[in-house]
Amino acid sequence: MYKKFTGFDNICIVGTGAIGGAFGGFLSVAGCEVTFIQKNEDIINEIKENGLSISGVKDIHLNNVTIASPGSITQKHDLILLAVKAYSLEEAVKSTLPIIGENTYVVCLQNGLGISEVVRKYVNEEQVIEGVVWFPATMVKPGYIKVLTFYEQSILGGRSYRSQEYAKKLALLLTSAGIPTKAVDNISNEVWRKAIPVIAGNSINAITRTKLGIISEIPELKESLFAVAKESLKIARAEGIELDEEYLRKSMLSALEKGYEHETSMLLDIVNNRKTEIDFLNGKIIALGKKHNIQTPLNLLIYGVIKALEGG
C-alpha cells in the first residue's frame, strides 16, 4: 500500500510504548519497512521473541519485528517518529542524529507544550513535523498494545512549506494504514486544543486513580476539570491562541465518554512509580502564566500534588 506514496521507504520509530507500538504496527501492516529503536534490552528481547500485537479497533500481530538499540543503526531514514515520553525527548533526538539526513523528516508525537522547540534545537525546522494524536492507546505489556477508539482524526503540521507538504503526504499514508489523520496549516492551535484537555483530564485522572470516564459522573470532579481547562485557556489566549471555551467543554465530555475505560499514561506512571510528563503539561502553564503575569493556582496545586506522587 505504502508504495503509492514516495518518501517513506524506511521509517524509524523511537519508542515501543503505546503510541510508538500503535503507529509502528499499523504502518507495518500497510507494507512499510519499519525499524523500532528501544534502549531497554529486556524489551528488545521480548519483542524479538514474541513480536508486536495490537488489539481493539484492529487486531494485528507482527512476527520478525525489526528492533534495535540506539546507536546500532547508521542508515539514514526517510521518516523518524519520536514516540518517547516528553521528558526523554531530548535524549531521543540526540540518539537519532546519525540517521537524520538532509531529506529526513522528524515527527514529534508527544502530548504537551514546547515539544517541537526541543526537537528544533537539533533538527532543521524545515524537517520537523508536529503531531497531535487523537486516540487512546495503552501498553498492556511490552509488545502488546490496546487501541480502544479513534476520538477524531490525528493531526500533523509543519512550520515551513517543505515540512507542511510532507505532512500532507504522511497524513494520507497514515489514513491509508488505518490511523485517520489530516494535515493542518495552523498546528499551534491544534497542539493547544489537545494540550488543554490533557492538562486538565490526565492530572485529575492520575490523582483520583479512576477510569477516565468517572470524572464526568462526579459533579465536583467535572467542574474541577472545566476549571483547570478554563485557567489553562487564559494562558493559551495570552499566547495568541484562539480556542472556544464551549467547544473545549463539549470535546472533553465527548472524550470522557468515548474513552470511559481508559487509564491515562499519567495515571499509569503514578501507579507504577514512574516519572510523569507533568513538566510539559501543567508545569508549562505555570511557566507561561509567570511570563504573562497571570495567576494559575489550580495548575500550581495539581503540579505540586503530582510531583509529590510521582516516582522516577
Provide the pLDDT for residue 255.
Answer: 86
Q: Do 126 and 217 fall into the same domain?
A: no
Q: Do 7 and 136 fall into the same domain?
A: yes
Which CA distances in Å does 98 have to 11, 73, 102, 265, 284? 14, 8, 11, 30, 30
Other Cβ atoms less than 10 A from the Cβ of 242: the count is 9
Q: Do 211 and 270 fall into the same domain?
A: yes
**CA-CA distance, 109 to 35, in Å (whole number)?**
17
Provide the pLDDT for residue 80.
Answer: 98
Q: Do 164 and 240 fall into the same domain?
A: no
Can you give the pLDDT of all 312 residues of the chain as single tens digits? 445 566 788 999 999 999 999 999 999 999 999 999 999 999 999 999 999 999 999 999 999 999 999 989 999 999 999 999 999 999 999 999 999 999 999 999 999 999 999 999 999 999 999 999 999 898 999 999 999 889 899 999 999 999 999 999 999 999 999 999 999 999 999 999 999 999 999 999 999 999 889 999 999 999 999 999 999 999 999 999 999 999 999 989 988 888 888 889 999 999 999 999 999 999 999 999 999 999 999 999 999 999 999 976
Angle between helix 245-258 and helix 187-208 axes, rounded to 10 deg = 50
Provide the pLDDT for residue 259.
Answer: 81
Burial (CB count <10 Å: 0-12, 13-18, 19+), residue 178: buried
Helical ranges in the chain per DSSP H = 18-29, 41-50, 89-96, 115-120, 161-177, 187-208, 219-238, 245-258, 265-271, 282-291, 297-309
Domain finish residue from 166, 185, 204: 185
Provide the pLDDT for residue 114.
Answer: 96
Q: Do 298 and 181 fall into the same domain?
A: no
Q: Do 205 and 78 fall into the same domain?
A: no
| Of 296, 148, 281, nearest in space to 206 by CA | 281
Q: Do 74 and 9 fall into the same domain?
A: yes
Which one is catalytic: 3, 85, 146, 194? 194
- If you compute the radius of gyration of the chain from its CA atoms, what whole number of angstroms results? 19
**Residues of the domain holding 149:** 2-185
Domain finish residue from 169, 185, 201: 185
Q: Do 153 and 254 fall into the same domain?
A: no
List CB contacts of 242: < 8 A, sequence separation 6 or more. 189
Angle between helix 18-29 and helix 161-177 axes, rounded to 10 deg = 70
Q: Do 115 and 230 fall into the same domain?
A: no
* CATH number for the domain that contains residue 160: 3.40.50.720
Provide the pLDDT for residue 5.
Answer: 65
Domain finish residue from 185, 212, 239: 185
Q: Do 168 and 210 fall into the same domain?
A: no
Q: How many domains does the chain have?
A: 2
**CA-CA distance, 183 to 27, in Å (whole number)?**
18
Cell numbers placing 221: 470532579
| Of 217, 246, 232, 211, nearest in space to 282 by CA | 232
DSSP label at 277?
S
Q: Do 93 and 225 fall into the same domain?
A: no
The reply to whether 194 belongs to the active site is: yes
Q: Do 165 and 84 fall into the same domain?
A: yes
* CATH number for the domain that contains residue 275: 1.10.1040.10
Provide the pLDDT for residue 4.
Answer: 58
Other Cβ atoms less than 10 A from the Cβ of 5: the count is 15
Provide the pLDDT for residue 299.
Answer: 98
One DSSP character per residue, 136-185 reads -EEEEETTEEEE----S-EEEEESSHHHHHHHHHHHHHHHHHT--EEE-S
Which CA distances in Å does 109 have to 113, 124, 129? 11, 17, 9
Provide the pLDDT for residue 311.
Answer: 74
**CA-CA distance, 178 to 1, in Å (whole number)?**
11
Provide the pLDDT for residue 258.
Answer: 84
**CA-CA distance, 105 to 126, in Å (whole number)?**
8
**CA-CA distance, 150 to 296, in Å (whole number)?**
32
The reported pTM is 0.93
